[in-house]
Amino acid sequence: MSRPTPSSPAQAPIKNERLLLLTLAGIQFTHILDFMIMMPLGPQLLRLLNMDTHEFGLLLSSYTFTAAASSLLAASYVDRFDRRKLLLTLYVLFALATLCCGLAPNFTFLLIARALAGAFGGILGAMVQTIVADVVPFERRGQAMGTVMAAFSLSTVAGVPLGLFLATHIPALDWRAPFFFIVLLSAVILALAWRQLPSLTAHIDRPKQGNVLQQIVAVAKEPNHVKAFVFISLLTLAGFTVIPYIALYYTANVGISDAFITVVYLCGGAATFFSSRLIGRLADQHGKLRTFRWLALASLVPVLVTTHLVPVPWWLLLINSTVFFVLVSGRFIPAMAMLTEAAAPPVRGTFMSLVSSVQMMSSGVASLIAGLIIKQTTSGQVAHYNLVGYIAVACGLLSLVVASRLKSASATLARAEPHA
């Protein structure tokens, strides 16, 4: 990616940038946890709701497909409203949809509730990243993204183990307990967000050409944006073909107990919580593209090991799973910093909504592809997980090729200005 010229945020400087980033990280934490909690709950859901692996894949993909559709729809209005008001409204709707998940009496109701949660959660992710890009200059955006994306780590180090603990130790609620926990936590973070989020409206006053549909099409077909969509799609496929079925594979094939899955997520999340900001600083110091290349290449090793794992000592599994968490999630930090700079500020909200749509659609496709490839044998083991690993590695390698072709919108505009 071309090196951008120093640029200023689209808004006036924020008085307390760190507190704002922590608030945004809290929003990220809850909606990421809402998505991630389904994965370790897989064995319980399959058992208690009498589902098979294909239905579980559908449960996961329903969230991502509606998130993709809603993000695509959001592209038509996200740059027309105060980012603060829009984010708070979406967050309330997300919490209500998650409440419905906890109240679901059967698979069908849960499927619909997950779809609604995805519809609002998908837009939240795009909005958070857009606000970060609006208020933090590119030169410091790697570390800012590291702070916000540490929410992914925190959701595993604290949220997922706690959710599993609640699901295991509250028999009256079982798998429903984590969803009620997310709702209560969202209420607290909503109160904080109401106080901390500033009004962001500078993008509204900028001139726009054509009607809404023409503006979306113009953003979507811009060559550099197309490369960005391909990039995030490949990177998502490189992870989410493997991630949703890790807990199921560990319990069925490696012989790990449901209780030890909590330890796996705890250790992996703890490691990534500390590594996220470090990776962000490395990206700012050594370049986003270079850092991404290092992480993307290194991540292929634990992906292959994970998808070929046989019964091994618990400590060996824990080392591999922790490295997997650090590298697979870590490569998204420089990647997202690169993506936020691929579009000019006036269309950044629309662009990031489209990126979120592509990412969520790719997550759904990845879950479905993996669900169609892997099978449960009569003995209960998972077969063909190794094939999923090969697909993930191929997509990871292709993402490296596309990443080198991405350009910075700021650098492009700076080169064009002397000729204007």
Could you give the CA distance from residue 291 to residue 285 in angstroms, rounded to a whole number?
9
Separation in Å, CA 399 to CA 131, 160, 287, 406: 25, 29, 17, 11
User: Residue 279: CB partners within 8 Å, gap ≥ 6?
Assistant: 142, 146, 291, 295, 330, 333, 334
Helix (H, G, I), strand (E, B) or coil at 37: coil
- Among the listed residues 276, 239, 259, 178, the one whose alpha carbon sits nearest the alpha carbon of residue 367: 239
Backbone angles phi, psi at 182, to 5 degrees: -65, -40
In the chain, what are the helix, strand and coil shares in percent, each to the nearest 5? 80, 0, 20
Give the chain's domains with CATH numbers. 17-199+210-415 (1.20.1250.20)
What integer pLDDT is reported at residue 317 of this predicted model? 93
Separation in Å, CA 288 to CA 123, 238, 387: 25, 19, 30
Could you give the CA distance from residue 292 to residue 209 in angstroms, rounded to a whole number?
35
What integer pLDDT is reported at residue 395 of this predicted model? 95
Q: H/E element holding 157?
A: none
Query: Mean pLDDT per segment of 10 residues, for the chain of length 420 residues?
Result: 45 65 86 79 76 75 79 71 84 93 86 90 80 74 72 68 76 82 91 80 59 75 92 93 87 85 82 84 89 94 93 92 91 88 79 82 84 84 92 95 84 48
- Among the listed residues 176, 68, 61, the one whose alpha carbon sits nearest the alpha carbon of residue 119: 68
Separation in Å, CA 219 to CA 28, 228, 297: 25, 11, 30
Could you give the CA distance from residue 147 to residue 83 in angstroms, rounded to a whole number?
20
